[in-house]
Amino acid sequence: MATIPWLVDVLRAAGVQVVVEGDWLNRGRPGSFDPIGVLWHHTAATSSASNPHPALNICINGRSDLPGPLCQALVDYHGVFHVISAGRCNHAGVSGGSGPIPAGDGNTLMIGWEIDYNGVDQRMTTAQYDASIAATAAVLTRLGRDSSYARGHRETSTTGKIDPSFIDLNTMRADVAAKMAGGGGGWSSIVDNATAGRFTASTNWGVSTYSGQRYGADYRYADPVAASDAAWYKFNVPRTGNYRVEAWWPANSGYNASTPYVVATTTGNRTVYVDQRATGGQWRTLGTFTLPAGDADRVAVSRWSSAAGLVIADAVRLTEV
């Protein structure tokens, strides 16, 4: 019996792309289900642009040792939410307690997202992260809970689970909180490749108007090389604090699958890799970072990529959260 029949409507109202998988309203495990939070997982399957949801069937039907469904929704490579169940699912096991989530039956306490990436040598895509933030914020708002009720499986597991790999869960909660508050409402600034005095790149970076997904009049491009030769974005950060860093790029199959974005934080440079072949023409979150106050180069696009395809530098946005 459906316990959260509102799930699809809430996700769609938040701008999340949804695919409904079969009789989701009547699919679930026996037992009570009165969720108070949201739990993030990774599937341990390797997804790709051409195979975006390899774990979908397992999440619906289960495994020989664990009957399905195994989550309320699977998040595919492109950030699409495949909604599987409106009832209790076998995704969390026993909760050891984390934050406001108590110890007990995690399957009863939490709604689960299975984010389809392997978590060993593959990170979640920017599209997966953005969609999961939006979905989590919308569901917690519906439940009347704050962002502290968003947890990762590795925080609640009693058996040493590592998922979701490669993300800072405190940053995730900060991003959920900002989304719930309507994007934070703090200081925000955009630097485009054409912003005078704010963008610098060597002559190795060409100028293009090819893609209609560009931000502004044009964008910059360069071949990948085993050297940084970075294009830098300069921001006058008003105060030391937490800032969401977002990037805009036009997507094309001939662009780079692993473009390095370097963020100069208070604790050194942090690098985030994005696939510029997909999810272009919109703001994509690289993460939330602690940045120092002052007017300086803060974000760079590096050419140092082992992947083929042009590296693109278009626009970057910082938002205080």
Structure confidence at residue 85 (pLDDT): 98
Domain count, the chain: 2
In a shared domain, residues 26 and 171: yes
For residues 177 and 200, state if they share a domain.
Answer: no
Is residue 194 located within the same domain as residue 176?
no
Q: Tell me: cis bond preceding 238? Omega within 30 of 0 counts.
A: no
CATH number of the structural domain spanning residue 217: 2.60.120.260
E strand or H helix at 296, and its extent? strand 294-301
Exposure of 187 by Cβ count < 10 A (0-12 exposed, 13-18 middle, 19+ buried)?
Answer: middle
Where among 151, 181, 211 does a domain terminate? 181
Same domain, 177 and 37: yes
Residue 58 lies inside a defined structural domain of this protein: yes
Asked if residue 198 belongs to a domain, the reply is: yes
Beta-strand relationship, 241-248 and 206-208: unpaired
Distance CA 289, CA 244 (A): 6
* Whether residues 174 and 213 fall in one domain: no
Coil vs helix vs strand at 81: strand
- Do 281 and 151 lie in one domain? The reply is no
- Which residue range is the domain that position 210 belongs to? 188-320
Amino acid in position 158? T
Are 144 and 210 part of one and the same domain?
no
Domain termination residue (choose one: 124, 146, 181): 181
| Residues 102, 67 within the same domain | yes
Q: 70 near 90, Cβ under 8 Å?
A: yes
Residue 128 lies in a domain: yes
Q: Are residues 170 and 314 both part of a single domain?
A: no
Q: Final residue of a domain: which of 149, 181, 213?
A: 181
Bridge partner list, 157: 95
Mark whether 170 and 213 lie in a shared domain: no
What pLDDT score was predicted for residue 14? 87
Question: Does residue 1 sit within a domain?
Answer: no
Which tokens go with 247? Answer: 């990037």
Find the radius of gyration of the CA atoms of the chain.
20
pLDDT value of position 127? 85
**Of 135, 134, 117, 129, which Cα lies nearest the Cα of 49?**
117
Whole-number pLDDT of residue 186: 60
Whether residue 168 sits in one domain with residue 100? yes
CATH number, domain with residue 49: 3.40.80.10
pLDDT in tens, the chain (321 residues): 558 999 999 999 888 989 999 999 999 999 989 999 999 999 999 999 999 999 999 999 999 999 999 999 999 999 999 999 999 999 999 999 999 999 999 999 999 999 999 999 998 988 899 899 999 999 999 999 999 999 999 999 999 999 999 888 988 999 899 888 875 446 788 999 999 899 999 999 999 999 999 988 899 999 999 988 999 999 999 999 889 899 999 999 999 999 999 999 999 999 999 999 998 888 888 998 999 999 999 999 999 999 999 999 999 999 887
Residues 233 and 152 in one domain: no
Q: Is residue 259 part of a domain?
A: yes
pLDDT of residue 283: 83
